[in-house]
Amino acid sequence: MKKEDLIAPQTYNIVSEIEKYAENPAKEAILFENEAGETQTITYANLIKNANRVGHVFLNHGLTKGDKVLILMPRAIETYEIYLAALKLGLVIIPSSEMLRTKDLQHRISHGEVSAVVAIAEHLDEFTQIAEYDELIKFVVGGQAEHWHDLTAEKQQASTELAMVETSRDDIALLSYTSGTTAKPKAVIHSHGWGYAHMQTAPKYWLSIEEGDTAWATAAPGWQKWVWSPFLSIMGSGGKAFVYNGKFNAEKYLELLQKHEVNVLCCTPTEYRLMAKLPNLSDYDLSQLHSAVSAGEPLNQEVIEQFRKNFDLTVRDGYGQTENTLLIGSLKGTETRIGSMGRAILGDQVAIIDEDGNRIEDGTTGDIAVALDSPALFKGYYKDEQRTADSKRGNYYVTGDRARVDEDGYFWFEGRRDDIIISSGYTIGPFEVEDSLIGHSAVKECAVVAKPHDIRGNIVKAFVILQDNYSADDALVKDLQNYVKQDVAPYKYPREIEFVTDLPKTNSGKIRRVELREAEIAKYNNQ
């Protein structure tokens, strides 16, 4: 794609891309199903009307353009309404997962200078110890609580008409927090113009969503991947989003794909792996499914072959980050090379560069990078000039991943430069887990790395040096795991803990996680 095709008009709001589909009063926007099998549908017209109602509630409580709103909601129709309302008013959204704990939320609220919180009733307890609790404007969905405004009730009394606040393509739309390797999560700044660029790329060239398609992207709200696919990609294409609020189960997922005649599927590699392992795959009719994609980490060849054999469908990989959009992918109808990441979607805006910031053209391994002037790139890390500067090299943003490009333009992943862990589609910074573990009285020192895993891709493994008065046993392992689960989001906890007497370090005393990680990879490959 040419850079010019990704540049939004000077005055632009993401919601305008979605609102246009409301002109057809019968056009369905969302099909929702819960774990009990109860379903609900809503049209684009009614979705926008409800979003307008929510917008009036926000205005009535004093929120204005530029205010930051932390949104903690589940997979639900209401979540779409709240995001649309906030963006339409020029508010800045901080997506937040239901799995976040008080410590995670405190960092986002303080660092992000949050004015308001919108949260599902079941998770209000995580906010009571927040330092800014009394100053926050607080909205609850699906219940009532002291000090919280009942958004569900108040929106019923509000007008269905709402003027869109004038926003520019450079105005901030989202602050999405992403895990770092050596510090607290950093906030990625995305503008309304980034939203435009994303909707010109991922939906068309990777997901291959056509207007009227039923599309299911399984990501949960609170992550940039939800903004990417369930929200912007599907809604911005005029598709019908299938939303399932239930736990993952391979058989259930396949039943739902068949039942609702889903046309487009976006899953994590872990979800695909577990579905591919079922002995009765051929029992399911997925003939309506014309596009299936995966992202986060490379898919196993076995998984791809199982879907080809049983459904005559090629599951395609895609690569991008919280900081950008779809950068590299295998496109529908093009040759898929097993093991390859695909080809650059953004053309010359994506490159392999050397340590000096120069493009590598000869097929040797280097760093995957994005041109700094790409409209599909973030604006920087909020209130963190140093880490913003550190992410740049020459005229490029450096992703942290390494690859090579063959003579036909296919990218081949060679590994990460840093210590980020990707497990079951979740991105985990080792610092967060180490910081939690070190708070336990038994832990003297620790290091956290990725350990390869057949299903999850990787799991979090912790190497722990104990205080002198503690003994290593299974009970202590469980205690440490539960401690971390209560302290930070539970998906971050170490599934494996190994007690050691020392850790590999540099001359300056820094832990060499790379040495621990490579040892785990070697053990995995030799088993």
pLDDT in tens, 13-29: 999 999 999 999 999 99
14 assigned to some structural domain: yes
Choose among 268, 275, 130, 111: nearest CA to 184.
Answer: 111
Residues 372 and 519 in one domain: no
Virtual torsion, Cα 20, 21, 25, 27, nearest 10 deg:
180
Mean pLDDT within 183-208: 93
pLDDT in tens, 33-48: 999 999 999 999 999 9
Question: Is residue 31 pLDDT above 70, yes or no?
Answer: yes
pLDDT in tens, 85-100: 999 999 999 999 999 9
449 assigned to some structural domain: yes
Residues 292 and 432 in one domain: no
**pLDDT bracket for residue 269 (50, 70, 90):** confident
**pLDDT bracket for residue 346 (50, 70, 90):** very high
DSSP 492: G
- Say what the pLDDT of residue 511 is: 80
Mean pLDDT within 419-447: 87
410 assigned to some structural domain: no
Q: Whole-number mean pLDDT of the chain?
A: 93
Q: What is the CATH number of the domain that holds 498?
A: 3.30.300.30
For tokens 């993401």, the residue is 14
Question: Is residue 507 pLDDT above 80, yes or no?
Answer: no
Mean pLDDT within 271-284: 91
Residues 388 and 461 in one domain: no
Q: What is the pTM of this model?
A: 0.87
Residues 220 and 82 in one domain: yes
Residues 52 and 88 in one domain: yes
The half-sphere exposure of 80 on its side-chain side, counting CA atoms within 13 A, is 32
- Say what the pLDDT of residue 25 is: 97
412 assigned to some structural domain: no
Domain boundary among 404, 438, 461: 404
Residues 396 and 443 in one domain: no
Better-predicted residue by pLDDT, 507 or 519: 519
Question: Is residue 291 pLDDT above 60, yes or no?
Answer: yes
Instruction: With beta carbons less than 8 A apart as the criterion, state whether 448 and 421 touch.
Output: yes
- The angle that helices 77-88 and 44-60 make with each other, rounded to 10 degrees, is 60
414 assigned to some structural domain: no
* Sheet of 457-466, strands arranged across: 443-453, 457-466, 496-499
Instruction: With beta carbons less than 8 A apart as the criterion, state whether 418 and 400 touch.
Output: yes
pLDDT in tens, 103-114: 999 999 999 999
- Say what the pLDDT of residue 355 is: 93
Domain boundary among 354, 376, 404: 404
String of b and e for 128-137 (b: at least 16 CB within 10 Å)?
Answer: eebeeeeebb
409 assigned to some structural domain: no
Residues 398 and 427 in one domain: no
The two tokens of residue 469 are 């008065």
Domains in the chain, number: 2
Residues 332 and 465 in one domain: no
Q: What is the CATH number of the domain that holds 132?
A: 3.40.50.12780
Residues 477 and 330 in one domain: no
43 assigned to some structural domain: yes
Mean pLDDT within 178-188: 78
Domain boundary among 404, 432, 454: 404
Mean pLDDT within 251-273: 95
Residues 366 and 434 in one domain: no
Residues 134 and 202 in one domain: yes
Instruction: With beta carbons less than 8 A apart as the criterion, state whether 486 and 418 touch.
Output: no
**pLDDT bracket for residue 270 (50, 70, 90):** confident
Mean pLDDT within 506-517: 78
Residues 449 and 377 in one domain: no
133 assigned to some structural domain: yes
Question: Is residue 180 pLDDT above 80, yes or no?
Answer: no
Residues 6+ apart with CB under 8 A from 132: 109, 110, 114
Question: Is residue 2 pLDDT above 90, yes or no?
Answer: no
Query: Domain containing 282: what range?
Result: 3-404
Question: Is residue 116 pLDDT above 70, yes or no?
Answer: yes
Question: Is residue 183 pLDDT above 80, yes or no?
Answer: no
DSSP track, 240-276: EEEEEES---HHHHHHHHHHTT-SEEEE-HHHHHHHH
